[in-house]
Amino acid sequence: MNNYLGYYEDNISLTVYRKSSNLCKTRPSFSFASYFSEKRKRESVLSSNDIYEIYMLEQSNSRQACIYVNIVMHFLMENNDLKSINYLIDTLDKDLVSSWSLIPILRNTYSNKSRMPKWNDLYETTYKQIQNEGLNPLIELIGLKD
C-alpha cells in the first residue's frame, strides 16, 4: 500500500490520515482540531505530550509532523503564548526532528523573533539541518533572515 498523507478539513475538524498498514493499526485517524479545542480551555496550550507527539510523528512521516507543528504553533500564536513557544524552541531535540518540523516553527514565530532569545539559534540549527538533508537553505528559509 502506498504511503501518503491526506486530510479532510471543514469548519469543525481537521483529520489527518496516512495510508499505511502499521499506522492504521495504531492510529487510524487523529483529529488535531478537536484535540486542541479541548487544550485551549487550559492555561497553557503546550505540554510535554505535544513534544513527544512531534517525535512520534517524525518517525512515521515528517510531513504529518509538519501539520501537527503548524497547528500547535497556530494555537500558541493565537493565544500569544510566547512562554510556551520559547519552551518548545528550547526543549525540542533538534536531532530528532527534520526540517519539516523546524521550518514551521521559524515561519510562525518570525514576527515575534525579537522576543524569543533562542530564535536565532533555531534558525542556525535549521539552516545546517537543511544542508545535511541535501536541500538549499536559502530557498527553504527565504524571507526569514534580515
The per-residue pLDDT for range 61-85, each reduced to its tens digit, is: 888 889 989 988 888 888 888 999 9
Looking at residue 32, its pLDDT comes to 56
Which segments in the chain show pLDDT lower than 50?
1-29, 43
Determine how many CB atoms are found less than 10 A away from the CB of residue 10: 8
Please tell me the predicted confidence (pLDDT) of residue 9: 43
Question: What is the domain partition of the chain in residue ranges?
Answer: 5-140
Looking at the chain, how many residues does it have? 146
| Order of all β-strands in the sheet with 30-31 | 5-9, 14-18, 30-31
Give Cα separations from 102 to 44, 57, 117 (angstroms): 21, 13, 16
Q: How confident is the model at residue 38, as a pLDDT?
A: 57
Q: Residue 92 carries which side chain, given as an amino acid letter?
A: L
Say what the pLDDT of residue 99 is: 92
Q: Could you tell me the pTM of the whole model?
A: 0.69
Q: How far apart are CA 63 and CA 51, in angstroms?
A: 16
